[in-house]
């Protein structure tokens, strides 16, 4: 797809499986919208297949998963693989929530680019995304 200069960053936020903790994902959604990003929330009880399909269909730049009820070592690698298989390997995959330190190397090796856990400052998350977006747009323009 032809990139439009200075278009807004598009972010898909999702919750996988039976995890119904909604506070973190709601706060992140507000923070990203306030920072001028376009945010789509899939709602609860999604499968990796549903999230990958939505990410491709909505042509988002970033997929952000909020996970507080375990299952992340299974469903995040699966989502990363599905995105790659469906042509979405260039999307930034973020995760946040209750993700023990010992699980993080496995997730990062599987394709999760960045993990923000409890207490993460939303300003740091916004700054991380703005920097990633600026670098991506600069490299596409070059």
| Residues engaged in binding ligand B12 (CB under 6 A) | 13, 18-25, 27-28, 64, 66, 68-70, 94, 96-98, 116-120, 122, 125
| Pick 69 or 137: Cβ nearer ligand B12 | 69
How many Å apart are CA 51 and CA 15, to the nearest integer? 9
Q: How far is the CB of 85 from ligand B12 (least distance, A)?
A: 22
Q: How far is the CB of 3 from ligand B12 (least distance, A)?
A: 23
65, β-bridge pairs: 14, 95
Instruction: Evaluate the CA torsion angle 37, 41, 47, 53 in order and state its sign.
Output: negative
Give the CB-nearest residue to ligand B12: 96
Which of helix, strand or coil describes residue 41?
A: strand
């Amino acid at each position: 797809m032809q990139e439009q200069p200075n278009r807004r960053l598009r972010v898909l936020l999702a919750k996988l499986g039976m995890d119904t903790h909604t506070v973190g994902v709601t706060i992140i959604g507000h923070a990203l919208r306030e920072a001028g990003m376009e945010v789509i929330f899939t709602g609860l009880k999604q499968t990796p297949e549903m999230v990958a399909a939505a990410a491709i269909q909505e042509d988002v730049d970033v997929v952000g998963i909020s996970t507080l009820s375990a299952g992340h070592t299974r469903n995040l690698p699966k989502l990363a693989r599905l995105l790659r298989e469906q042509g979405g390997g260039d999307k930034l995959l973020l995760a946040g929530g209750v993700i023990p330190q010992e699980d993080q190397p496995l997730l990062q090796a599987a394709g999760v680019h960045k993990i923000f856990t409890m207490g993460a400052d939303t300003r740091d998350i916004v700054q991380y995304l703005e920097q990633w977006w600026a670098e991506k747009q600069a490299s596409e323009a070059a």
